[in-house]
Structure 1
Amino acid sequence: MSAPAPEEEAELLVPVGRMRLTAVIVAVALFMQNLDSTVVTTALPAMAGSFHVDPLYMSMAVTSYLISLSVFIPASGWVADRFGARQVFRTAVVVFTLGSIFCGFAPNLPVLVASRVVQGLGGAMMLPVGRLLLLRSVSRAQMVSAMAWLTMPALLGPILGPPLGGFIVSFASWRWVFDINVPIGLAGAVAVSLFIPDVREEGRGGHLDSLGILLSGLAMALLMVGLETVGRGLIPLYWTLLAFLGGGLSCLFYVLHARHEENPVLDLSLMRVPTFAISLLAGTLFRVAVGALPFLLPLMLQLGFGKSPLASGLITFAAAAGALLMKFAAQPVLARFGFRSVLVWNGLIAALSMAICAAFRPAWPVWLMDGVLFVAGFFRSLQFTAFNSIAYGDIPRARMSAATTFYSTVQQLSLTMGVVIGAASLEVSSWASGHRVPSLSDYGIAFLVVSGVALLAIPLCARLPRNAGAQLSGHRG
């Protein structure tokens, strides 16, 4: 692995105000995307009634968006290199906003599905290109602080989405679920134009890896279809198995293709960078576990405890408050203990905090559950910030677009896998216990399973060198 160039070592600090402003603008756009993904699921029954279709078919509104994301994310790095990260990010925000407007006016399910594909195209460019734009706008020494801001959307969106969606559907039309994106999107596009500089770096050249985009997009789409439909009875089982088989073969063909491609759309050679590889693999395990929580917690609180969607949302909101507090603590904690110690010990605490949710019962006072979720939100957010920062610590700036594309592609897949593993754990426990509907013990087992997945990341984190990411954290231990 080559050492960072001297000019990278000597880069000057970006003014703190500009760094925070850039981080907030990118984070708000990503928050809009994450919020939309969770608000929509709450409104699906109301949409089904409006369109006069079986609610089961409304899952197409979710899967079409996820598949669109999966297909277009691998191309985001090349597009950012070709047209500039600021230009692409601003366009992505506009496209996502236009897709939201189309969804709000959709007269039937086919139009809604097509509009969600447009949203997915915008969303696919927002996540990796937004991260790339931020990484190119700050120095390495400021990367941890910037990533602390960028971590917030992934944590806040799934927590705020269900209660907000329930409130909108209860007191207004489901179409407002999409309309709330419009002012946020317009303000974000204007803010990008006014306040974010157009920082360009030499990318991977002008050659477009068309075959790589086809194979990676096909692999992601088929794997996403398989993950979204397995065990849910939405399509015949053999179609789900064929989707997994086709996705696996597409992955294999892509790996063979990438070995001989000069500028592959997903650059597998990045796995030779130890900090990137460990962050990607361990972070995937952690994200799988965390991805199950927004699915399991609201179900347990509403179906197991009998709480309303609004009451459930007010409890889960405590995790968002803990995540917000972490924003101020990430840099000092990493400077004091270093990336390896934080990822190992903080990862252990974060996994145990997930396991404690298995003990939640209706008799628990709300303040106690809020306290557990507050602490859990803090440590989960710190873990995300550490993973997202160390991943790019040893990546040369010229390869940032390749790294963000690769990282975002795997991240999208891992979060979906979390929902699948959470749902599968719940269903298997219910079946083994002979329960027609999941009991509190079944939810407890599901929480323990996903906590175990999070624990698997710790041995990988322990393989980091003691001084890993010292340039980012300032740790000199």
Structure 2
Amino acid sequence: MPDTIQIDARTARILPWVVAIAFFMQTLDGTILNTALPSMAASLSTHPLQMQGVVIAYMLTVALLIPVSGWLADRFGIRQVFLAAIFVFTLGSLACAMSPTLDLLIASRVLQGIGGAILVPVGRLSILRAYPRDQLVRILSFITIPGLLGPLVGPTLGGFLVNYASWHWIFLINLPVGILGVICALRYMPNIPRAGALNPFDKFGFLFFSTFMLTLTIALEGIGEHSTAYTKLVLLLVTGFVSLAVYCFYARRSENPLFSPDLFRVRNFSVGIAGNLFARLGTGAMPFLTPLLLQVSLGFTPLKAGMTMIPMTLGAMIAKSVVTPLVNHLGYRLLLSINTVFLGIMIAGFSLISKEMPYPVILLIFTVFGMINSMQFSAMNTITLLDLSDEQASSGNSLLSVIMQLSMSMGVAIAAAILGEFSGIRSFSATGDLASAFRSTYLCLGFMAILSALIFYHVTPSAGKKGTKKNVYQQEKKMEH
């Protein structure tokens, strides 16, 4: 860890609040949009089942730019980059609210994603360099509280705004928060110098890896929208996998690769990355798919759909307290193998939700899914970093963040493709058996999640069990650092 800088007492008190504002903006935006998709689709003369591009554009942009954020902060200064990120995010929010067409909205989401991708990692970096090590756990825990509140209030707030105002306000509310963030950052964000020499950025590695992510996601989205010719889809997929192969070949010979190939010599890291990629294909689609189920298929209002999502977040919070005891007792291998199967079963269980199902039972399904999903994320994330050295932790955590965003954007694209195929939706005026299409989609996503349990069987058998040197709590602190 680099030496910390000296900051005055007032800045020391207020800086965590400045970073917390940025965290809240980013996490709120990730959840507030989903309940508004049907209303946005009607306003933009698009079918609700063809709105995945609005979600994917943001997630994919974040995935692409995460590896760049740290280098930008070192090159131009944390304060300057943080300010620019808030400004770009706020400007992107305004552009989203003013977008008259779907294409312009997607382009505005890309602009918003540029700011969102840089906000969180650079904000966290400012904390790491401004405070001594013995204060980090307390301060990092404080600034992550808004990150927990965002998913809790996002769906309900989005539904409320759509019900009583218009979908434009889910973006406009970012403006006063963004302006406040800029003012506070100008006043209280210290000008933190770079620690040591600036390492060269791996431009070619970034180009190859980004091409892989971009072409693969665009191909999957094209399948979902039925808007891309078969030949172009094949070309996109081939380009993507060739780019990945070229990156792997290039990284082995590069002095400062974007992500070191040595990371994959660590068994649990390789298993964790593969598990995160495939297990999140199903879970990453749920925040996009479920509000559509509630509104398009069950006829819920946006507000009721948003309130119905609250138990999912509450269940996730409750489950945080039981992950460590379960890992200590079962170990990561057994816990992840069992929990992934249950996760797939719960995703498939959403196929049972119908207009005839009692509302309390629906809430129970949401709560149980939130608990299992939370345990899955905590265990998957920590096993991935379990055996990395301190020198590998930063690069490994960056790659894990990229894979998480990539798999969620791919999950949305895959879910939209499956849903579109089963529903037969091709245009705004088209109709289909939506209830049956949603059931089939959830069953497919659940089956995909269950299959990913086979990956976690390759985790080191003793990893995480009580008596070993490393546990889930220690690894969560490594992720924060």
Instruction: Report the AA paired with residue 258 of structure 2.
Output: V
Name the count of aligned residue pairs.
Answer: 453
Q: Which of 37, 43, 52 is the matching residue for 1:41?
A: 37
1:443 maps to what in 2?
A: 438
Distance 1:114 1:314, change over 3 A: closer
Q: State the identity as a percent.
A: 31
1:30 maps to what in 2?
A: 26
Q: Indicate yes or no: 2:384 matched with 1:385.
A: no
Distance 1:256 1:425, change over 3 A: same
The alpha-carbon deviation at position 187 of structure 1 amounts to 5.1
Q: Distance in 2 between matches of 1:30 and 1:382?
A: 22
Q: Indicate yes or no: 2:74 matched with 1:74.
A: no
Instruction: Report the AA paired with residue 471 of structure 1.
Output: K
Deviates most, 344-353 or 283-292: 344-353
Contact 1:41 1:62 in 2 (8 A): no
Instruction: Report the AA paired with residue 45 of structure 1.
Output: A
2:462 maps to what in 1?
A: 466
The superposition leaves residues 128-167 of structure 1 with CA deviations (integer Å, 9 ceiling, x where unpaired) of 5567778888989x98x9799969959964x865554443
For 1:100-119, what aligned pairs fall within 5 Å after superposition? Answer: 100-105=93-98, 112=105, 114-119=107-112
Distance 1:62 1:294, change over 3 A: closer
1:354 maps to what in 2?
A: 347
- 1:261 aligned counterpart, secondary structure: coil
Q: Distance in 1 between matches of 2:348 and 2:142?
A: 24
- 1:391 aligned counterpart, secondary structure: helix
Q: Distance in 2 between matches of 1:330 and 1:67?
A: 29
Deviates most, 448-457 or 190-199: 190-199
Q: Which of 105, 114, 117 is the matching residue for 1:121?
A: 114
CA-based RMSD of the aligned residues comes to 4.4
The superposition leaves residues 73-129 of structure 1 with CA deviations (integer Å, 9 ceiling, x where unpaired) of 332343355457687556433431232234345577776555433212112224555
Contact 1:351 1:454 in 2 (8 A): yes
Distance 1:237 1:75, change over 3 A: same
Contact 1:93 1:188 in 2 (8 A): yes
Instruction: Report the AA paired with residue 437 of structure 1.
Output: G
Contact 1:219 1:251 in 2 (8 A): yes
The superposition leaves residues 318-350 of structure 1 with CA deviations (integer Å, 9 ceiling, x where unpaired) of 211211222444444444544334323333332
Q: Which of 219, 223, 226 is the matching residue for 1:226?
A: 219
Q: Indicate yes or no: 2:86 matched with 1:93.
A: yes
Deviates most, 166-175 or 400-409: 166-175
Instruction: Report the AA paired with residue 213 of structure 1.
Output: F
Instruction: Report the AA paired with residue 300 of structure 2.
Output: K
- Structure 1: stretches of 5+ with no match in the other structure: 6-16
> TM-score scaled by structure 1?
0.77
2:362 maps to what in 1?
A: 369
1:425 maps to what in 2?
A: 418
Q: Distance in 2 between matches of 1:108 and 1:423?
A: 20
Instruction: Report the AA paired with residue 445 of structure 1.
Output: S
Q: Distance in 2 between matches of 1:427 and 1:275?
A: 36
Q: Indicate yes or no: 2:266 matched with 1:266.
A: no
Q: Distance in 1 between matches of 2:146 and 2:330?
A: 22
Q: Distance in 1 between matches of 2:91 and 2:148?
A: 22
For 1:186-201, what aligned pairs fall within 5 Å after superposition? Answer: 186=179
1:13 maps to what in 2?
A: none
Deviates most, 176-185 or 372-381: 176-185
Q: Distance in 2 between matches of 1:275 and 1:132?
A: 26
Instruction: Report the AA paired with residue 118 of structure 1.
Output: L
Distance 1:33 1:465, change over 3 A: farther
Q: Distance in 2 between matches of 1:56 and 1:301?
A: 13
> TM-score scaled by structure 2?
0.76
Contact 2:155 2:307 in 1 (8 A): no
- 1:230 aligned counterpart, secondary structure: helix
The alpha-carbon deviation at position 282 of structure 1 amounts to 0.9
Q: Distance in 2 between matches of 1:356 and 1:56?
A: 21
Instruction: Report the AA paired with residue 449 of structure 2.
Output: A
- 1:207 aligned counterpart, secondary structure: coil
Q: Distance in 2 between matches of 1:135 and 1:344?
A: 35
Q: Distance in 2 between matches of 1:87 and 1:239?
A: 41
